[in-house]
Structure 1
Amino acid sequence: MSFYRKTALACLAGLGLGLSARAQENNLHQRSTIYEPPKDAKVIEKLNQWEDQKFGMIIHWGIYAVPGIIESWSICSEDWIERDSTISYNDYKKWYWGQSEKFNPVNFNPEQWADAADAAGMKYLVFTTKHHDGFNMFDTKQSDYKISNGPFADNPKADVAKYVFDAFRKKGFMIGAYFSKPDWHSEYYWWPKYATANRNNNYDIRKNPWRWNKFKEFTFNQISELMHNYGSIDILWLDGGWVRPKETVNEEVISWGAPIPEWSQDIDMPKIAAMAREAQPGLLMVDRTVHGRFENYQTPEQRIPDAKIDNPWESCMTLGNAWGYVPGDTFKSTPKVIHSLAEIVAKGGSLLLGVGPKPDGTLPEEAIKRLEDIGKWMATNGEAIYNTRSVEHYQDGDTYFTQNKEKKKTYAIVCLQENEATPATITWKGNLPKKGSRVKLLQTGKNVKWELNGDEVKVTVPSSIKGKKDVAALAFSFKTI
């Protein structure tokens, strides 16, 4: 193991798994509170289709998988980033970017990824085509810094994004392309003439319009490649919300605490959107945190909103602690993921769960097992998740409520404490079954006994389930009063 690898892994262990509270806040995208509904009929139709899916997978995979550290951020020069003080910043960047020469995923298996996502009950994909470090996971003609121009270049699947998208399309998934608006490897974003002070571009755009126009052209051309060369795309998921027009930086954005330059980092989103939607009619644009007509749904990160949100939204959260692959990462338990999914869907959102493949191109076995276990619950209880919408009274303690789109059926998802025996009876208030109607336990497909006591419903749990300690949640369907 090289000196740089040893020291980098030592000083960045916290960046891979144990980010401090402050670091987490600096590293996460906030959710803008302003929402502008789309007006394009095809976009509205696609958005309604996406809202039916409820559960997706986001895959972060790039050169950061080789040393197993946080994606991109370790080369950003902000005071929440920790690096070994004996290594110069420029030397560290060379070491990090040099991981491209070691990235050779000879066991690349997108079919395994798609199988695991399908087994979990997921319905849509967001794949990282390029993160902030500028390393491209697709065969762009705009840059040589790409997976198809290194040790993996001669592999038949060197154009990685193509094969990932194809594998998930074959499973019937909606397809999303993650794309980082900032590109820290591009000389048009981080000009080598200057130091890289923070996540923003490192020169005054007002004084150097030619250079910024070259970056706009570079960005437009890369997104055009994704929109024209990779089949049907449903979602363009744009990260790096600090790259935005200056006029969109309001008091809310300032309150998030991220560094904001004096100039506008406008990349002409109307032009990009027009091109993208001509190629992909109805394309969902997710320009994260940049409220307006190109943020078709909102994306709170690593958190669940405190209350129901009436516009389309999605919580993007990791299965482990890290977005990408980090050796020894600890994965969330199956009940934890199921409980989060139930809460998110009841509040009107979708869950986009993050999984990071290993540097060899396969998913960690523990992640596959966890996804399989989640899928077992979804196989019998998915009716309470898919194709549902929120209701006014969406929660009673650990019980969450959803409703099918036709508003003919209501679901109660009762989240149970981990490793505790399933009780003999379940109670909840609000969303009471209609008198004389049937209450069905989705897990068994059979009706259960129930009774009303004032404003509370009491359901008898079947003896076949009572006392079990491996039940994450019980879902019931019924007609409401």
Structure 2
Amino acid sequence: MTIHEEYLQKIDKVIEQGPYKDDWDSLAGRMMPTWMREGKLGIFIHWGPYSVPGFGSEWYSRNMYIEGSPEYEHHIQTYGPHKDFGYKDFIPSFKAEQFDPHAWADIFAQSGARYVVPVAEHHDGFQMYKSDISEWNAAEMGPKRDVLGELKNAFEEKGLTLGASSHRVEHWFFMGHGKKFDSDVKEPLERGDFYWPAMSESDHHDLFSEPIPTQEFLEDWLVRCCEIVDRYQPEQFYFDWWIQHSSVKPYLKKFAAYYYNQALQWEKEVTICYKHDAFPFGTATVDIERGKFAEVQPFFWQTDTAIARNSWCWTENNTFKSPESLVRELVDIVSKNGVMLLNVGPKPDGSISAEDQSVLKGIGDWLAVNGEAIYQTSVWRQASEGPAEIPEGQFTDGTDVNYTAEDFSFTCRGKHLYAINMNWPENGEVTIRSLANQVASHLPVFHGIIEDVEIIGYEEVEWSRDEQGLHVRKTGIETKMPIVIKITLD
């Protein structure tokens, strides 16, 4: 019996014995875990052989085989013909000489993050963990280290919750362009080959695009995902978009049932994060890539975005968001019942760039002072007020939102309401109109008693309340970061 056959039998047995079955009704009612709802901020990590060329993006392994693309031309000019130097030939250079999981854990903990989700396997098919399924993994090639395992140990020492991400399903078509010319992606390709199956790529990747993944490929996908679950016990399992394909659905249900049943044995709260409508609503956690909702939602959700605007992995030409803009995004997302998974792309040697570290430090410094307005908070009666226009949907993080001094986001916890000003004015005076003092018959947003008002990190704040709103005055504040007004209610 092969490893795959043994694992498939194990999966069926766990599902048969566990309370969760591989049908959507059985999988319903899955809430975002408490540690995630309260932690609010996580770190995503894209790191692999694609970091070695450091050109274009983490999709280099696909694009380098598309004739005429910038990656194709760059590859020939830099490394030579594809038949002589293909994507697999980057692996020996992926040595990770400076990879220190404890240093990473320190950086992420200081950023204020509460959980970390490394990409265990990207579309390129290289496993960043020790595997019995394939030799094409970081423990046997490249770094020759169990990257995910070492990170798990280091994160646990820092109190960071471990997640894991699999993008394996897109490998069905990811290397297919390499078959169209003389490259190292050559037939015959069989399971166990690095490039297998390298099928042709649909123009749209829709729900029923062809060629449809085979049973052999999908069983291999399922076994790989379950191996990650059993070996590392991640408390979040993140999937990229193509799991929504019609052919994947039966295997997706099997994975979810297996994962949720195994988590019961671990006595851990876990979740699966998905995009679009790959899962029926309520069976896993909604995720929006590089975007968010414009309004508060009645359900918990996650956005995954990146410090770099142009790529998820490290490249020579990354452009970086500022810590100020990312803190504003975090505040806005939390006020709308969401959490943020923020991506970092380490360099091929395993170091984290100075630019990434600077951004993470800026976020961490702000959270060290103002974290009570973020961690363990809930949504208020409304998420925000002000004129800022918030774009909705995925891939809307290309430019910063134009926040003004009139823009506030709200969170609350216990007897405290936090009104977070997104752009403190030079004159030091703001008005929170949602807290206007009106008679109850006018049905204001807020009709309670305000006991005290302060600005976190500052002293001697002046405040008053009338029919126009809650007026707060504090001069001498010079920062581009959001300012947290802490309102104590009686």
- Residue in structure 1 matching 2:418, options 411, 414, 428: 411
Which ranges in structure 2 are unaligned for 5 or more consecutive residues?
1-23, 176-188, 387-406, 437-445
Aligned to 1:284: 271
CA drift of 1:151 comes to: 3.7
Q: Is the 8 A contact 2:433 2:469 kept in 1?
A: yes
Aligned to 2:52: 66
1:49 equivalent in alignment to 2:62: no
Deviations 1:152-172 (A, max 9, x none): 22xxxx000001122112211
Overall identity of the aligned pairs, in % = 24
TM-score by length of 1: 0.76
Distance 1:194 1:386 in 2: 45
In 2 relative to 1, CA 330–359 (structure 1 residues): closer, same or farther, beyond 3 Å? same
Deviations 1:53-93 (A, max 9, x none): 11111011011110113113551578996544698999389
Distance 1:93 1:127 in 2: 31
Q: Select between 287-296 and 321-330 the one with higher mean Cα deviation.
A: 287-296
Q: Select between 85-94 and 426-435 the one with higher mean Cα deviation.
A: 85-94
Which ranges in structure 1 are unaligned for 5 or more consecutive residues?
1-34, 206-210, 247-263
Q: Select between 68-77 and 164-173 the one with higher mean Cα deviation.
A: 68-77
Distance 1:400 1:429 in 2: 12
Aligned to 1:257: none
TM-score by length of 2: 0.74
Distance 1:452 1:101 in 2: 66
- Residue in structure 1 matching 2:482, options 470, 473, 479: 473
Q: Is the 8 A contact 2:96 2:348 kept in 1?
A: yes
Instruction: Give the residue type in structure 1 aligned to 2:339.
Output: S
- Residue in structure 2 matching 1:441, options 427, 432, 455: 455
Q: Is the 8 A contact 1:37 1:296 kept in 2?
A: no
Aligned to 2:442: none
CA drift of 1:97 comes to: 3.0
Match of 2:381, SS state, is coil
Deviations 1:319-361 (A, max 9, x none): 1222111124232112111111111111211111111111111
Aligned to 2:6: none
RMSD after superposition: 3.3
Match of 2:222, SS state, is helix
Instruction: Give the residue type in structure 1 aligned to 2:291.
Output: R
Q: Select between 350-359 and 305-314 the one with higher mean Cα deviation.
A: 305-314
Q: Is the 8 A contact 1:288 1:298 kept in 2?
A: yes
CA drift of 1:314 comes to: 1.4
Match of 2:53, SS state, is coil
CA drift of 1:473 comes to: 1.5
1:169 equivalent in alignment to 2:156: yes
How do residues 270-419 of structure 1 correspond to structure 2 at under 5 angstroms? 270-281=253-264, 282-289=269-276, 290-292=278-280, 296-321=284-309, 322-397=311-386, 398-404=407-413, 406=414, 408-416=415-423
Distance 1:145 1:339 in 2: 40
1:149 equivalent in alignment to 2:137: no
Distance 2:26 2:468 in 1: 37
In 2 relative to 1, CA 99–416 (structure 1 residues): closer, same or farther, beyond 3 Å? same
Instruction: Give the residue type in structure 1 aligned to 2:219.
Output: E
Aligned to 1:12: none
Distance 2:156 2:341 in 1: 17
Q: Is the 8 A contact 2:107 2:360 kept in 1?
A: yes
1:139 equivalent in alignment to 2:130: yes
Aligned to 2:472: 459
Deviations 1:415-459 (A, max 9, x none): 126xxx643222221045844510122223x56321113131111
- Alignment: residue pair count: 406
Deviations 1:113-146 (A, max 9, x none): 2111111111111110011111110111111221
Instruction: Give the residue type in structure 2 aligned to 1:426.
Output: V
